[in-house]
């Protein structure tokens, strides 16, 4: 661990996809300064103060996108935990997300699956918790899946993850989840094709930060793709980022007035259900 003598903050050494864990952290922390904040996440604000990193220089002015994603998934998780208070939540590629502490009911079990450099940062900056198990591997690895019995009922979170995979990898992962787990929920976000193409050409957020390649994308109007993954998988819910809190996503929310634009341009949040029961 290295500390910046001038600032007293702790440095991190992240590149590529692992570095993106700092982006939602920045936006969630900024949300805490608002009276109309969408999430209560003081831990994120504290982490931004502790970490020696030029957040605004890399990611620009804060926006509500990551806070909306966090709020939507938090709310879905809380509803699920009302039915399964001692249930198991699996968070894939969560980086420095503090979701465990935002939804903790004192009984749930949490499994955090991430790459080695991300797990190392998580261990450095977040408190140890006996109900959190960390597994160091790719989300695409069967290691974490095989640690849970066949037919397990879980809630799987994949926020800010799938876009960094290839289409075949996404399909294969979702298929394997449907094959292994019983009645379960999966939540994640999806970027549209135009944004993926932009990233493949070298998408700069600021003059100093270029987004990693995001090969997988799906237009909002094509989400029926998920219904063809596996007979046990169906879409439970989908929304654009503007749907839950349109006043926080202007002018983006004006897309909602034009369905054809929404279908082509909007990023989305999806909740899938794994169920052996017919819809």
Instruction: For residue 7, name the pLDDT band (cuts at 50, 70, 90).
Output: low
pTM: 0.95
Higher pLDDT, 1 or 228: 228
What is the per-residue pLDDT for 92?
98
Neighbouring CB atoms inside 10 A of 273's CB total 16
**pLDDT score at 4:** 55
Q: What percent of the chain has pLDDT over 90?
A: 91
Q: What percent of the chain has pLDDT over 70?
A: 96
How large is the average pLDDT for residues 250-257? 82
Question: What dihedral do alpha carbons 178, 118, 71, 40 form, nearest 10°?
Answer: 150
Strand partners, 114: 136
- Is-contact 240 268, C-beta < 8 A? yes
pLDDT band with cut points at 50, 70 and 90 for residue 9: confident
End-to-end CA distance of the chain: 51
pLDDT digits (tens, 9 = 90+) for 121-179: 999 999 999 999 999 999 999 999 999 999 999 999 999 999 999 999 999 999 999 99
pLDDT value, residue 254: 84
Torsion angle, CA of 213/218/220/221, rounded to 10 degrees? Answer: 150
CA distances to 128, 193, 256 from 89, rounded to whole Å, are 17, 30, 32
**What is the token pair recorded at 146?**
């095989």
Q: Identify the helix (H) or strand (E) that includes residue 92.
A: strand 88-92
Average pLDDT, the chain: 94
CA 179 to CA 231: how far, in whole Å? 10
Give the model confidence (pLDDT) of 191-235 as tens digits.
999 999 999 999 999 999 999 999 999 999 999 999 999 999 999
Instruction: Return the CA Rg of the chain.
Output: 18
In 3D space, the residue among 167, 252, 153 whose CA is nearest the CA of residue 218 turns out to be 167
Bridge partners of 92, per DSSP, are 113
- Could you tell me where the DSSP H helices lie in the chain? 16-19, 22-31, 42-50, 55-59, 65-83, 99-103, 116-125, 142-146, 167-180, 193-200, 259-265
- Beta strand 268-274 with 233-240 is antiparallel
Given this model, what pLDDT does residue 8 score? 72
The answer, yes or no, to whether residue 279 has pLDDT greater than 90, is no
Q: Which helix (H) or strand (E) holds 273?
A: strand 268-274
What is the predicted pLDDT for the residue at 5?
44
């Amino acid at each position: 661990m290295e500390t910046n003598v001038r600032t007293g903050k702790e440095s991190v050494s992240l590149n590529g996809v692992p570095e993106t864990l700092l982006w939602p952290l920045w936006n969630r922390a900024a949300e805490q300064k608002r009276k109309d904040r969408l999430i209560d996440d003081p831990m994120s604000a504290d982490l931004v103060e502790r970490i020696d990193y030029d957040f605004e220089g890399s990611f620009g002015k804060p926006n509500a996108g990551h806070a909306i994603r966090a709020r939507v998934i938090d709310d879905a998780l809380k509803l699920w935990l009302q039915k399964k208070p001692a249930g198991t939540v699996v968070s894939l590629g969560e980086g420095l997300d503090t979701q465990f502490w935002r939804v903790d009911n004192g009984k749930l079990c949490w499994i955090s699956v991430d790459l080695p450099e991300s797990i190392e940062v998580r261990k450095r900056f977040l408190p140890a918790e006996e109900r959190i198990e960390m597994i160091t591997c790719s989300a695409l690895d069967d290691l974490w899946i095989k640690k849970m019995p066949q037919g397990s009922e879980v809630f799987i979170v994949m926020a800010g993850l799938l876009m960094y995979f290839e289409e075949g990898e996404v399909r294969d992962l979702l298929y394997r989840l449907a094959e292994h787990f019983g009645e379960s929920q999966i939540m994640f976000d999806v970027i549209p094709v135009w944004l993926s193409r932009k990233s493949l050409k070298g998408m700069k957020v600021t003059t100093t930060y270029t987004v990693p390649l995001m090969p997988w994308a799906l237009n909002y109007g094509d989400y029926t793709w998920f219904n063809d993954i596996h007979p046990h998988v169906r879409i439970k819910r989908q929304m654009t980022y503007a749907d839950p809190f349109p006043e926080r996503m202007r002018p983006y929310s004006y897309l909602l007035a034009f369905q054809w634009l929404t279908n082509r341009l909007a990023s989305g949040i999806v909740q899938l259900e794994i169920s052996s029961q017919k819809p």
